[in-house]
Chains A and B, each alone.
Chain A
Amino acid sequence: MAGIELQNVRKDFGTLSVIKGVDLEIHPGEFVVFVGPSGCGKSTLLRMVAGLETVTSGTIRIGDRIVNDVSPKERGVAMVFQNYALYPHMTVADNIGFSLKLSRVPKAEIKKRVEETARVLRIVELLPKKPGQLSGGQKQRVAMGRAMIRNPKVFLFDEPLSNLDAQLRIQMRSEIALLHRRVGATVIYVTHDQVEAMTLADRIVVLHAGHIEQVGAPLDVYRNPQTQFVASFIGTPPMNFVPAQRFPAASLPTKWNGSLKTVGFRAEKTAIGKSDGLVPIGNGRVRLVEPLGLRALVHVELGDQELVTEIDTLDAPSPDSEVPLGVAPADLFYFDQSGRSLGAPL
């Protein structure tokens, strides 16, 4: 178990700046998820921690040691790749035991540890097979076994579940959580799937265009997004945003004077109907109703915007009908010109 510290870490590819100064401290044993849209630099940052990419400037520490110029093998990290990166010419047992073989562990010991690891992951019967004979979920377990067997101080996961089908993804997600609880190592987990981020993380790091937008516990980030980007990225469906001038002036707080530009509200907090407690947003036309089961997503066209509400399926209006939308004042988020949160109105 080891902590990780990033100080003003930058990465340039030629003239292109991919990581633009990241500061982050990860505590020993913590499960941290890097989340962000593709191209935000989350994988690059992970690969820099792994030692697969050089650091342009800044320092990366693992434990007490600055590892900028330390080879991946010396860093004591293990990594699970998105496409598993299993060695196709080796059996599952050889794949899992490869790192031990390289460090000249005696054969009998390798065999014992490979079998132990396989038992934990319930893949003992796969040991003599080659990766080409395995299903996606099985490959995923082998890749995890290969990482686990070295008892690394740090686990790095690079979008490990994105090649699996939806059901398997949910199952493997909970297994990764159990695995973390069991081995207790520090984990950095990269994903673009915010559900994975929310469910797995002790803390999530929302990345956007090479810098950190917000770091915090999942629910804290969900409840108090510090920027409009975080608000739109965390939470499904994305938060609705409406220009402040659309609202009746009396219904908005006045303390920020002119700096209030955008008002946001989550779909699940957007009500259809009018009542005294609700700030009215306006009347819109229902374009689409997507029933999810108990709840339904209702897409409403309001002026040139499309807003989404999530309500009980039984209450869903019929398409093309006109409906009034409203939100409770406590459920509004306020953002300035640059997309920064203005905080609570009181």
Chain B
Amino acid sequence: MYDDLKPADFEATALMAVEACAKAGTTAERAQLLAEAGLLGVLAPDDCGGLGLSMRFGVPIASAAGKGLLAYPLIETMVLARALAGVAPDMATALCEGSVIASIAWAGFGDDGVVGRAPLAHEAAQVLVFLADGRAVLVATDDQVSVDAAPEFDLDVPEATLRLSAPPQGIVLSAALVATLKAEAQFLRTAVVLGSVSACLGLASDYAQDRVQFGKLLSANQALRHRMSRDAVVAETLRSGLARALTAPREGAGMARDALWCWAAQAGPSVAESAIQVLGGMGFTWDVPLHRHLRRMRALAHQGAARERLDEIADAVLGSTDNEWYGDIADAR
């Protein structure tokens, strides 16, 4: 049905929608703008009002959201709409239509009564809460839940903490659906980081080519040129890493995705820090949006549990090898 669509087609649409969202007054208005552009349901099947497209189409949308600091739980909506389609199609449809705002509490388990890192949960009607057994429950933010706005580190998609007064009740997602949802979110987070990295590099290079110090442009100084070149390598590495991870590499799709995410979670914020340095005193001000990108990427790193994923990669590295050239060395641990 959508065979003629290309991922790049969504980039321009997404950038325009994100720009429009920046001028919208409320989260509900942003939901409508994003839904009208067809962005919320891009991954969800068409019988739920989605487009049924692959992650390759989700990435440019998430990247545009990062670039424009979209104030909406976009990643959560996109992956939830797909996950819920076979379980609760009406809810999936409502998410695609933007009539229900939902979030995901990325930290903690509902079994413990407190979960956190739920972007914009204080404005969400539904929040997905993970359980210790691998499943998850979509709970309504009504009487059984109190939502505390966490200290607002991420200014654009602030996180909230949820306190559950009873074991979570609601639509249940199986452990398999949850695993897929988490994997899809890793791709989208990486794409948001790529968008932020591009924006930060753009702000730095524009400023450096305008600001004159010691009688010459900042961009005439090799130290700053090389700093920005290194930041450009980060952007290109994220781009090529996404391209590879999305084409189901022959060797280890999981490793390709997780390694990319772990690296993005470290390298992305470093580009924002670098851009702040290029802008000097201006970079340190509230009005220049570099700190918002930095906050956004740092929050995402924790939502995506980058450090924990890196520990998992460490376990894999320290494990036995499938490289037959080294398979015959005796294991004495």
Are chains A and B native binding partners rather than an unrelated pairing? no
Point out residues on B near A: beta carbons under 8 Å.
Answer: none
The chain A residues found within 8 Å of chain B, CB to CB, are none
